Amino acid sequence: MSASHPACDCAWTRAATDAWVDDELATDQVAELERALATCEACRAYRDGLVHYKALVGSVPTPPLPVALAARLSLPALERRARELTPRPPRSIHAARAAGALAAGFLAWVAFGTVSDRFAPRPPVGAVVRPPVLDVPTVPADPPPSPEALLLAFGEAVELAEHGATIEAFARFERIRIGAGTRVPGELAPKALFWTARLAPTLAEALARYDALARDHAASPLAATALGAAAAVCDRLGRNDEARVRRVALVRRHPASAEARDAALALVRLGAGELRDEHVRWLRTHAPDSPQTAAALRETGGEGSND
Q: Give the residues lining the site for another protein (CB under 8 A).
A: 14-15, 18-19, 22, 24, 49-50, 53-54, 56-69, 72-73, 75, 77-79, 81-82, 84-86, 159, 162-167, 198, 232, 258, 262, 291-292
Q: Name the residue nearer to another protein (CB basis): 102 or 167.
A: 167
CA distance 95 to 84: 22
Q: Name the residue nearer to another protein (CB basis): 164 or 273.
A: 164
Q: Name the residue nearer to another protein (CB basis): 184 or 229.
A: 229
Q: Name the residue nearer to another protein (CB basis): 64 or 121.
A: 64
- Smallest gap, in angstroms, from Cβ of residue 244 to another protein? 17
Q: Which of 39, 48, 52, 53 is nearest to 3 (CA)?
A: 39
CA distance 232 to 215: 17
302-305-307 Cα angle (round to 5): 130
CB of 8 within 8 A of CB of 36? yes
- Smallest gap, in angstroms, from Cβ of residue 83 to another protein? 8
Q: Which of 26, 23, 15, 22 is nearest to 53 (CA)?
A: 22
CA distance 19 to 196: 34
Q: Which of 293, 302, 303 is nearest to 15 (CA)?
A: 293
- Smallest gap, in angstroms, from Cβ of residue 219 to another protein? 23
- Smallest gap, in angstroms, from Cβ of residue 254 to another protein? 16
Q: Name the residue nearer to another protein (CB basis): 70 or 101.
A: 70
- Smallest gap, in angstroms, from Cβ of residue 53 to another protein? 5
Q: Name the residue nearer to another protein (CB basis): 86 or 114.
A: 86
- Smallest gap, in angstroms, from Cβ of residue 229 to another protein? 10
Dihedral sign (CA 209, 214, 219, 221): positive
Residue 164's region, left for phi above 0, alpha for psi from -120 to 50, else beta, is left
